[in-house]
Structure 1
Amino acid sequence: MKAIIVTDFAYKGPKRKGRGTGHQGLRATLKYLQYRDNRNQHIQQDEDTERWVDNGLGQHYRAIFENCDKLQSKHVLGWTWVISPAPDLMALVPEDDRRDLVVDLTERIVEEYYTSRGFEVPEYSYVLHDRLTKPEDDSEPLQQLHTHVVLPGTAPLAGSDRQAVYNNKEKGHDALFRDIASRHFSEALDRLVGPEWHKLREEAPTIEQPEPSVPSGDNLDDWFPR
């Protein structure tokens, strides 16, 4: 069945191992996320620009970078998440409710993921981006609201000091992330749209296809081609 929401996490380590890595790589990524425009352009760089929703990590890329540096673990300087609800399902949501939905969804996912792992919710910040899909057929492009979440390499743990946070596919962390996101988005769609949205995700005969290549790096156009 086609996914109802795309989730992904990546990280920047403190050691530089080439372009886009280490402290310089995280700083460049944060700056890029802050000044990328809602569609095709970048906005003017201004110290007063407030793009980030600050939940303790900072409201400007410089502050976020400095806090990640202070709260890093041995191997992780900062985590970068993507949370992107399916555009065809978001199109069913009244336009005036879409941004609030993605903001609320992002915070619910972050908070439940960490508490499910036994951590307290760490400091984090996120930015909401808006882009258009690029259909392969002649259909109209759809709005694609999504968030980029930045979290430090450590998180509070009740009764002890901060502990390193690692997200490993082999330990089921990516499945947990995806399941939490899918459940919260499903509940939101039931509330805002009603049960009819399920018709867009009814099972269809599957066709064997080769495994798709997984993008690397932080270029959004690799993950969400126009």
Structure 2
Amino acid sequence: MSKAIIVVDFAYKGPKRKGRGTGHKGLRSTLKYLQYRDNRTDHLAQTEEDERWRDLGMGKHYREILEHCDHLQSQHVLAWTWVVSPAPDLMALVPEDQRPQVVSDLTERIVEDYYTERGFDLPEYSYVLHDRLTEPKADGDEPMQQLHTHVVLPGTAPSIAERLPVYNNKERGHDALFRDIATRHFEAALDNIVGPEWRLHREQEAEITPNWNDLDAWFPRR
């Protein structure tokens, strides 16, 4: 299997607390963590009002986002949390000053097309762009920049009559659809910015999927 050019994943927070990291308290902790985790290694001071979130209807602060999640939840889903992470070796081919905007545009196109292809109207959402370094490899390769986004969406989507619950099930092929949409849009972005020669930079190797539920896997404590 060829190595994925972009890794995406979805998870959800249910409204009921069933242990550490679940329910409203778990979602609040996750949102707060995402807001104040600084680029790569450090936390921001919680007194800083620096805007981290791109607000597309859910808010610019973790408290506001949490309130919207609570108001727009379904019976089983308080919020959906996504990760969108283009491959670092391919992002390295993009001019550095263009990379944040490329990942932001990519995130928005993926959200829009995923809901459209699922037959839903576009819901409210917010996302935050994070920057980390990949882990050093045993072969001595230097760590690479890994820009990625964390997206927070409600448990429902709007419709003419009433809001509809949204469920993402791997058994029904929703994860495959998610990956296909993400791959299609990132390929188009690379073709436009880098040109078709970006395909020569990929080697055939097994795909490795990280543990998306472990935030410290994305932000190692050093």
TM-score range, shorter chain: over 0.9
Work out whether residues 8 and 178 of structure 2, in 8 Å CA contact, stay in contact via their aligned partners in 1: yes
Alignment of 1:114 onto 2:110: no
Work out whether residues 41 and 220 of structure 2, in 8 Å CA contact, stay in contact via their aligned partners in 1: no
What is aligned with 2:27?
26
What is aligned with 2:211?
215
Q: Which runs of 5+ in 1 are unaligned?
A: none
In the TM superposition, residue 40 of structure 1 has moved relative to its aligned partner by 0.5
What is aligned with 2:132?
131
Distance 1:91 1:65 in 2: 34
Work out whether residues 90 and 198 of structure 2, in 8 Å CA contact, stay in contact via their aligned partners in 1: yes
Q: 1:103/1:59 Cα in 2 relative to 1: closer, same or farther (>3 Å)?
A: same
Work out whether residues 53 and 126 of structure 2, in 8 Å CA contact, stay in contact via their aligned partners in 1: yes
Name the stretch that deviates more: 43-52 or 147-156: 43-52
Work out whether residues 11 and 79 of structure 1, in 8 Å CA contact, stay in contact via their aligned partners in 2: yes
Where 2:19 maps in the other structure, the secondary structure is: coil
Distance 2:45 2:203 in 1: 44
Work out whether residues 130 and 146 of structure 1, in 8 Å CA contact, stay in contact via their aligned partners in 2: yes
RMSD, aligned α-carbons: 1.9
Where 2:119 maps in the other structure, the secondary structure is: coil
Where 1:148 maps in the other structure, the secondary structure is: strand
Q: 1:17/1:145 Cα in 2 relative to 1: closer, same or farther (>3 Å)?
A: same
Q: 1:21/1:223 Cα in 2 relative to 1: closer, same or farther (>3 Å)?
A: same
- The residue type equivalent to 1:155 in the other structure is A
What is aligned with 2:18?
17
1:1-226 paired onto structure 2 within 5 Å: 1-46=2-47, 48-136=49-137, 137-157=139-159, 159-201=160-202, 203=204, 215=211, 217=213, 219-222=214-217
Distance 2:210 2:143 in 1: 23
- The residue type equivalent to 1:143 in the other structure is Q
Distance 1:223 1:103 in 2: 18
| CA deviations over 1:119-162 (Å, ceiling 9, x no partner) | 111000000000111131211111000000000000013x3311
- The residue type equivalent to 2:75 in the other structure is K
- The residue type equivalent to 1:222 in the other structure is A
Greater RCO between the two (CA within 8 Å, min separation 6)? 2
Distance 1:225 1:189 in 2: 29
Work out the percentage of aligned pairs sharing the same amino acid. 72
Distance 1:214 1:138 in 2: 20
Distance 1:135 1:214 in 2: 15
Q: Say how many residue pairs are matched.
A: 219
Distance 2:50 2:59 in 1: 13
Distance 1:12 1:60 in 2: 18
- The residue type equivalent to 1:98 in the other structure is R
